[in-house]
């Protein structure tokens, strides 16, 4: 039974929970200002594209982390020491390394082949590069393999790993502000606010940035391929093959990578510039 008492002509009801407040925008604003200061105080320029990026880690730190990861991956893998594929990867690596010299921040560089069914390759900060044998049938030729390796090296030259870490730090700052701002709301409302923030972070920030990184690495890789005197026209053909080999893919807005067709279209758009670089770098192979 609810007890009631009169106070100043108003009926007060014991046992009724006091209503909680709304979102505290002042707290959110303070954290947003902090995130803005963090962002603008740590701007760097991406080589070749000139894009401004958020980055706090020094290249030497990146390279140390890259080397540690590379050594761990190689120790857990079957690394091939000889053979035609190893020779091709080593030669392509040497030529791409020379092509990247103007943008090279002092990488140690290494090129290895890992026996695996994965159709993949990677390049870690420091130029630590590996190609999986499962990629070879799709690459089909040295030009196609150079396109993939150039793309991966493009990620390393653009410091994309360090940029992702800095972006995650900024998201955590904003997320803490949202969480504290919603702290005065009831639990259901707090969950709803954090759910909306998570969706915006994922689809409005993290995934678009990931796709931008992939496109930027495509462009940088294409420039390196052309400088190294591999045929840049193989790039769209390679991604047509990648699209056929990859099967069904999620909608682009849900993916970390642009769709194969988007990449093909980008390469075709960049191709006049790539051919110009190729002709200037390789006068004996003018297209």
Q: How far apart are CA 203 and CA 30, in angstroms?
A: 24
Identified catalytic residue from 91, 115, 152, 214: 152
Both ends of the chain: CA-CA distance in Å?
91
Contact 163, 212 (CB under 8 A): no
Contact 240, 260 (CB under 8 A): yes
- pLDDT tens per residue across all 287 residues of the chain: 444 444 444 444 444 444 456 877 787 778 778 888 888 999 999 999 999 999 999 999 999 999 999 999 999 999 999 999 999 999 999 999 999 999 999 999 999 999 999 999 999 999 999 999 999 999 999 999 999 999 999 999 999 999 999 988 888 877 777 777 777 777 877 777 667 656 655 655 566 667 899 999 999 999 999 999 999 999 999 999 988 886 555 555 456 678 888 999 999 999 999 999 999 999 887 55
Q: Please, which residues have CB within 8 angstroms of residue 195's CB and are 6 or more apart in sequence?
A: none
Helix 187-201 and helix 160-181, axial crossing angle in degrees, nearest 10: 160
Q: Indicate the domain borders of the chain.
A: 25-285
Task: Give the residue from 31, 287, 5 showing the smallest Cα distance to 170.
Answer: 31
The pLDDT value given to residue 7: 41
Contact 81, 112 (CB under 8 A): no
Q: How far apart are CA 245 and CA 190, in angstroms?
A: 44
The pLDDT value given to residue 161: 93
The pLDDT value given to residue 168: 84
CB pairs under 8 A, 24+ apart, for 276-280?
277/223, 277/226, 277/227, 277/232, 278/226, 278/227, 278/229, 278/231, 278/232
* Residue 152 annotated as catalytic: yes
**Phi and psi at residue 53, to the nearest 5°:** -130, 155
> Can you list the positions of beta strands (E) in 34-75?
43-45, 52-54
Task: Give the residue from 263, 268, 270 showing the smallest Cα distance to 239.
Answer: 263
Bridge partners for 130 per DSSP = 112, 122
Q: How far apart are CA 207 and CA 172, in angstroms?
A: 16
> Can you list the positions of beta strands (E) in the chain?
4-7, 10-13, 43-45, 52-54, 79-80, 110-114, 121-124, 128-132
The pLDDT value given to residue 3: 44
The pLDDT value given to residue 287: 58
Q: How far apart are CA 87 and CA 113, in angstroms?
A: 10
The pLDDT value given to residue 135: 96
Question: CB 191: neighbour CB atoms within 10 A?
Answer: 12
């Amino acid at each position: 039974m609810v007890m009631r008492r009169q106070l100043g002509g108003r009926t007060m009801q014991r046992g009724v929970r006091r209503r909680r407040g709304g979102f505290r925008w002042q707290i959110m604003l303070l954290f947003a200002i902090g995130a803005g200061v963090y962002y603008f105080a740590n701007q760097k320029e991406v080589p070749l594209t000139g894009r401004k990026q958020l980055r706090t880690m020094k290249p030497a730190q990146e390279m140390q982390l890259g080397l540690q990861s590379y050594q761990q991956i190689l120790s857990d893998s079957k690394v091939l020491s000889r053979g035609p594929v190893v020779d091709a990867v080593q030669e392509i690596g040497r030529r791409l390394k020379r092509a990247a010299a103007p943008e090279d921040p002092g990488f140690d560089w290494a090129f290895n082949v890992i026996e695996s069914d994965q159709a993949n390759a990677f390049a870690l900060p420091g130029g630590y590069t590996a190609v999986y044998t499962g990629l070879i049938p799709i690459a089909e030729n040295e030009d196609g393999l150079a396109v993939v390796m150039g793309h991966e090296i493009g990620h390393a030259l653009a410091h994309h790993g360090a940029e992702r870490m800095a972006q995650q730090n900024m998201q955590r700052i904003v997320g803490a502000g949202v969480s504290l701002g919603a702290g005065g709301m009831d639990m259901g409302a707090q969950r709803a606010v954090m759910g909306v923030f998570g969706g915006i972070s994922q689809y409005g920030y993290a995934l678009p940035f990931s796709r931008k990184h992939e496109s930027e690495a495509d462009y940088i890789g294409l420039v390196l391929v052309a400088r190294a005197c591999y045929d840049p026209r193989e790039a769209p053909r390679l991604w047509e093959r990648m699209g056929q080999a990859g099967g069904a893919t999620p909608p682009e807005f849900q993916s970390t990578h642009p769709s194969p067709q988007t990449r093909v279209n980008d390469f075709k758009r960049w191709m006049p510039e790539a051919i110009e670089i190729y002709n200037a770098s390789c006068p004996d192979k003018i297209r």
